[in-house]
Amino acid sequence: MAAQPIKFGIVGCADIARKVSRAITLSPNSTLYAVASRTHEKAAKFAKENGFPDSAKIYGSYEALLDDPEVDAVYLPLPTSLHIKWAVLAAQKKKHLLLEKPVALNVGEFDVILEACESSGVQIMDATMWMHHPRTAKMKEFLLDSSRFGDLKTVHTCFTFAADKNFLETDIRVKPDLDALGALGDVGWYCTRSILWAADFELPKSVVALHGTVYNTSGVILACSASLQWGDGKTATFHCSFLSNLTMDMAVVGTNGTLRFHDFVIPFEENKASFGTAVKSGFTELVTGWEPKPSEHIVTTELPQEALMVSEFSRLVGCVKFEGAKPEKKWPMYSRKTQLVLDAVKVSIEKGYQSVEIVE
């Protein structure tokens, strides 16, 4: 790197910030520069345990970190209800923004964040790591190949994990004042994003949540499902839950081909990941077997997907900072569309599983 690495400030010491701190360390164009927590002590402990250099700045308040003119970019893993306040303030302080998902409680809030980023000219990207794995690009090649895959017809995704008693009682993701979207905003975010990714971010025309939503006693969603419909006949379904064994399935079916994999958010292994494809699948004579059979493809990666995410974010920040480029609009567009679909699913649930039109 000819240019200086991008200096990151971590705003909030959530568990996930540990993984992202390591990713920043691994990313060659990025450096851990500062960390803020609500107390100096917590921030210092986090810095010590997560590979921050001795020179790192330790802040006992988020404001103090945002006031540090040396901070180029912030990673913001705060509870969703706090995003609007701190993401807007970060943008106003000219900090580029790597924002945890769900990006906001609803698209109205996210639009306020986007306006702040736009008027400050800062890059914003959500922290959906799997988008940056080289496997994702390889799979996209397959989906865009009209001969091997053809036209997209249907997608199904499922992301569940079996939360333990402690999670179900204390995690921010089950608290109505912190992460009111619950499982829909957490695991459902990935389901929705992956469906939109498969559909080249063409928004569905309408969304219907499926009967069977499970809530906790505070009314936060612990499990739900939805179906999505496009004007051209494409359909998708997803299921997300905190109440079932960890499962991450994605299947994309086209007129000619099928793509599937079972670790779409976090690959089974850090440095290699696989996906299965089937092309013009058929049966043997007398329908006693398949010909051709599906095949598996392995994609290796030197850096884990979260480090590639940080690298891509920092590359874009560098373009703005060192070359005067405009922020890349594709990433906030992805975030906004994902949030729009989540919002529609929530409305559909609230309206007794009615169909909800998606209005961009």
Residues that bind its own copies (CB under 8 A): 16, 18-19, 22, 150, 153-154, 156, 158, 160-162, 206, 208, 210-212, 214, 223, 225, 227, 229, 233-235, 237, 239, 241, 243-247, 249, 251, 253-258, 260, 262-263, 266-270, 276, 278-283, 286-290, 293-294, 304, 306, 353, 355
- What minimum distance in Å lies between the beta carbon of 156 and its own copies? 6
Q: Taking the complex as a whole, how short is the minimal distance between the CB of residue 21 and its own copies, in angstroms? A: 10
Number of Cβ within 10 Å of residue 229's Cβ equals: 16
**Pick 29 or 225: Cβ nearer its own copies:** 225
Edge-to-edge strand ranges of the sheet holding 152-162: 295-300, 272-279, 257-261, 243-254, 152-162, 235-241, 221-229, 206-215, 355-357
Q: Which is nearer to its own copies, 2 or 287 (CB)?
A: 287
Reading the block at residue 188, the tokens are 């459902």
Minimum separation from the CB atom of position 307 to its own copies (A): 10
Q: Of 92 and 206, which CB lies nearer to its own copies in the complex structure?
A: 206
Q: How far is the CB of 13 from its own copies (least distance, A)?
A: 14
99 burial type by CB count under 10 A (0-12 exposed, 13-18 middle, 19+ buried): buried
Whichever of 60 and 150 has its CB closer to its own copies, that residue is 150
Q: Of all helices (H) and strands (E), which one includes residue 273?
A: strand 272-279
User: Which residue, chain included where needed, has tokens 């922020």?
Assistant: 327
Between residues 49 and 115, which has the closer beta carbon with respect to its own copies?
49
Q: Is residue 24 left, alpha or beta, with left meaning phi > 0 and alpha meaning psi from -120 to 50?
A: alpha
C-alpha to C-alpha distance for 310 and 129, rounded to whole angstroms: 9
Return the number of the residue (111 or 350) whose C-beta is nearest its own copies: 350
- The residue (of 338 and 348) whose beta carbon lies closer to its own copies is 348
Residues in the chain: 360
Q: Cα–Cα distance between 231 and 204 in angstroms, integer?
A: 7
CB of 176 to its own copies, least distance (A): 21
Least Cβ distance, residue 91 to its own copies (angstroms): 28
CB of 51 to its own copies, least distance (A): 11
| Cα dihedral 148, 151, 154, 159 sign | positive
